[in-house]
Amino acid sequence: MHTRVKTATELDAMRIGGHMLATILQTLRAATAPGCTPLDMSALAARELRALGGEPAFKGYHGFPDIICISVNNQVQHSIPSNIQLQAGDVVNYDFGVRYKGMITDAGISVGVGGSGATDGSGGADGLGGGLSADAQRLLSGTEAALAAGVAAISDGVRVGDISAAVEAVLTKHRLGIVRDLVGHGVGHELHEEPNIPNYGKAGRGPILKSGMTICVEPITTLGSYKIMEDDDGWTLWTVDGSWSAQFEHTILVTDDGAEILTIG
């Protein structure tokens, strides 16, 4: 379905669900440490979501077996949480969705094990020590900065290409590969609604977004080639060249004069 203008009641539900989602992502960020496993983190997310009163949006989506996608290093997206321990210097991505009163929000963060990405939504990066390589730091800071640029481009009447071009310019500046096969999207009544919002494109092109619509902007990047491949599990995506990957994502409300981030604490 095409994303449509949401009612005030629907937006209230998305704000509450988005706050839950942001709270859980920051809980996962703070708990990320060498020795923990993606399965540990999935269990933590499940406990926190139950306590907050939301429902997982990913569980059972096209048969997905868990509540959260947790991708590590050269895993790109859609990874099923495993029992493999995280190591200092790894990069781990948490991509999570929450349903509350029938409305869905979707967001993601990437975190350095032994360090972290920025938590204030500014697009910068702080605390990126802890054994992270310079390339891993560039991957995290550049991807989050691209998300901030995409959000900054949004207002009533914006074209999708304006968002895409803003994201692409920052990713190019940081010398990051831009995954072509995965894109941002409309969200709200369904997890994935039209239109698609690629992380590359030309300004002034594409569908027009109106105030009251809700979308996800999610730069998905690599330190090398943009080419990806699917695992035999039918879900986990890997970089073809083995380079590491990151993703940052927010659910965003288009407003008359800008954007409101709904997945924020």
Segment 180-235, tens digit of pLDDT: 999 999 999 999 999 999 999 999 999 999 999 999 999 999 999 999 999 999 99
pLDDT digits (tens, 9 = 90+) for 55-104: 999 999 999 999 999 999 999 999 999 999 999 999 999 999 999 999 99
Encoded tokens for 170? 């920052």
Least Cα distance to 237 among 77, 4, 45, 31 occurs for 77
Encoded tokens for 149? 């640029």
pLDDT of residue 83: 98
Phi and psi for 191 in degrees, rounded to 5?
-65, -40
Quick check: 125 pLDDT over 60?
A: no
State the burial class of residue 248 (Cβ atoms within 10 Å of its Cβ: 0-12, 13-18, 19+). buried
Residue 2 lies in a domain: no
pLDDT digits (tens, 9 = 90+) for 152-171: 999 999 999 999 999 999 99
Q: Once rounded to an integer, what is the mean pLDDT over residues 35-46?
A: 98
The Cα–Cα gap between 84 and 62 comes to 25
Residue 34 lies in a domain: yes
The structure's pTM equals 0.93
Q: What is the DSSP letter of 178?
A: E
Count the domains in the chain: 1
Quick check: 126 pLDDT over 80?
A: no
pLDDT band, residue 130 (cuts 50/70/90): low
pLDDT digits (tens, 9 = 90+) for 229-254: 999 999 999 999 999 999 999 999 99
State the burial class of residue 59 (Cβ atoms within 10 Å of its Cβ: 0-12, 13-18, 19+). middle
Q: How many CA atoms lie within 13 A of 263 on its CB side?
A: 33
Encoded tokens for 247? 């993703």
Beta bridge partner(s), residue 108: 95, 249
Residue 1 lies in a domain: no
pLDDT of residue 123: 34
Q: How many CA atoms lie within 13 A of 147 on its CB side?
A: 36
What is the domain extent for residue 242?
Answer: 8-261
CATH number for the domain spanning 76: value is 3.90.230.10
Residue 174 lies in a domain: yes
Residue 194 lies in a domain: yes
Quick check: 24 pLDDT over 70?
A: yes
Q: Output the average pLDDT for the chain.
A: 94
pLDDT of residue 129: 44
The Cα–Cα gap between 222 and 246 comes to 7
The Cα–Cα gap between 133 and 138 comes to 9
Residue 161 lies in a domain: yes
Residue 20 lies in a domain: yes
One-letter identity of residue 197: I
